[in-house]
Amino acid sequence: MARKFLYVIAFCIVLVIAGAIALSLFSAELTRMAMVPTTEFVEQEPFEESVYQDPALWYSRPGIGVNDPARWQPAYANDRGLLPTPAEPPAEPFAVFFVHPTSYLNRANWNAPLDNGGDPEAERIARIYLRGMASPFNAASEIWAPRYRQATMGAFLTDAEEGRMAIDAAYGDVREAFRYFLSSIEPGTPIVLAGHSQGALHLKRLLAEEVRGEPVAERLVAAYIVGWPVSLQHDLPAMGFPACAAPGQAGCVISWSSFAEPADPVMVLTAYGSTPALDGTAPGKTPMLCTNPLTGSYGGTAPASANLGTLVPEDSMEKGDLRPGLVPARCDERGLLLIGPPPEMGSYVLPGNNYHVYDLPLFWANTKADVIRRVEAWQAQAN
């Protein structure tokens, strides 16, 4: 009996090892099998111009009140426990348009449904993302964050035409929401564009197609295109705005993608290098934009002591507190943001020490201060 038991244990160990090897060798293929829809693509009817008048199509907008996830405030943690977040100095009135990252993981559809309340899990995750990623912008007088028929996660893991069509359909919703946002805020109000991952991808295109060369371009404080590569050579010229070179600069673009060390970004760099940028050219090995969120400048290095507060979430990611001095930041020659040894942030670190989900929470307090500083710089220029 004991020998049989040992045989069973040995067999289980072999299975685990074999599974680990398979996952290591074929993780990309297995992920695609699990995430890419096999259903037929359903054409998304474009929204009418008036559709975003419906408050139900916004996670955040004026009038929502205490249920607005972007208005959530964390507390600071120190040796005395949790302390309220210090009040920031008042900034000039400004409005934020924030586009949330992918929260729809279902392979039943290429685009997330919005009717009948949408997909419950996608809606729950989107609100959590907004609490952690849109809240650094809550010094704004107005924050607008639309619901949109986002492309499912699997759309980004395939070369199939359906994936591109799903992403295009999602962008159409974001564009319509942005147009309504502009029509709703006071004329002349300075604006901040911010988004993460899929949201950042849509904002890249929005800058090129809806902002560049338009009157609203003069009102752009900054565009925070975080967690999605921005090619210095093939994206920025098409977007029509320079990279932010200094913390007191307005009318510019900010971007970073976070990796702990040792970093293994091969999957990200391969996708970046082979995917056409805004000018239609694949960037190859040309560098991506890396703004150091601890200095507000292009490139460079800053110690952990410069970090005003990392939002460290509970594992559910529904709550968290700010911890100063947790991680440093260094832009490398490829345009990746390196944050030193892996910090304990939770269960959602991606392979290769990719801290994609935590791009904004890692630098929550510095991002909030950066926005205020750039709004004040814009106002000084306007006067």
| 3-state per-residue secondary structure call for 251-302 | CEEECCCEECCCCCCHHHHHHHHHCCCCCCCCCCCCCECCEECCCCEECCEE
> What b/e string do you get for 145-176 counting C-beta neighbours within 10 Å, with b at 16 or more?
bbbbbbbbbbbbbeeeebbebbbebbbbbbbb
Quote the tokens at residue 333: 């020659």
Eight-state DSSP code of residue 199? H
The Cα 332–Cα 285 span in angstroms is 13
Provide the residue type at 8 as one letter: V
Distance CA 292, CA 306 (A): 11
Q: Tokens for 301, please give them.
A: 């290095």
DSSP of 313-360, one letter per residue? E-TTSS-EEEETT---EEE-TTS-EE-SSPP---S-PBTTTB-GGGTT
pLDDT over 90, % of the chain? 77
Span 64-115, pLDDT tens digits: 988 999 999 998 876 656 666 665 665 689 999 999 999 999 989 999 999 9
Residue from 220, 247, 235 nearest 275 by CA: 235
pLDDT band at 57 (very low <50, low <70, confident <90, very high): very high
Q: Where are the alpha helices (DSSP H) in the chain?
A: 2-35, 120-133, 161-184, 198-206, 236-239, 266-274, 364-382
pLDDT over 70 at 9, yes or no? no
pLDDT digits (tens, 9 = 90+) for 173-222: 999 999 999 999 999 999 999 999 999 999 999 999 999 999 999 999 99
Question: Where in the chain are the domains?
Answer: 42-286+365-382
Is 62's pLDDT higher than 50? yes
Q: From CA 206, how far away is CA 88, in angstroms rounded? A: 30
Report the pLDDT value the prediction gives residue 30, as an integer from 0 to 100: 46
Nearest to 378 by CA among 109, 91, 41, 53: 91
345 — phi, psi (to 5°)? -115, -15
Residue 42's pLDDT band (cuts 50, 70, 90) = confident
Q: Please say if the pLDDT value at position 28 is more than 60.
A: no
Nearest C-alpha neighbor of 255 from the set 294, 233, 229: 229
Other residues' Cβ atoms within 10 Å of the Cβ of residue 120: 8
Strand, helix or coil for residue 64: coil
Burial class (CB in 10 A: 0-12, 13-18, 19+), 44: middle
| Cα 256 → chain centroid | 10
Average pLDDT rounded to a whole number, residues 141-162: 94
The single residue listed with the structure tokens 């400048």 is 297
58 vs 46: CA distance, rounded Å: 17
For residue 202, the one-letter residue type is H
User: Measuring CA to CA, which residue among 51, 40, 59, 189 is closest to residue 109?
Assistant: 40
Taking the chain, what is the end-to-end CA distance rounded to the nearest angstrom? Answer: 86
| 186: DSSP letter | P
- pLDDT band for position 34 (cuts 50, 70, 90): low
On average, the pLDDT of the chain sits at 89
Is residue 367's pLDDT more than 90? Answer: yes
pLDDT of residue 383: 82
DSSP SS3 for 29: helix
The Cα–Cα gap between 236 and 242 comes to: 7
Confidence (pLDDT) at 75: 87
Multiple choice CATH, 42-286+365-382, 3.60.21, 3.40.50, 1.10.357, 1.10.760: 3.40.50
Question: What digits encode the pLDDT tens for the residues 286-340?
Answer: 999 999 999 999 999 999 999 999 999 987 777 899 999 999 999 999 999 999 9
How much is the average pLDDT of 156-160?
90
pLDDT at 24 over 70: no
Consecutive H or E run containing 223 = strand 220-226
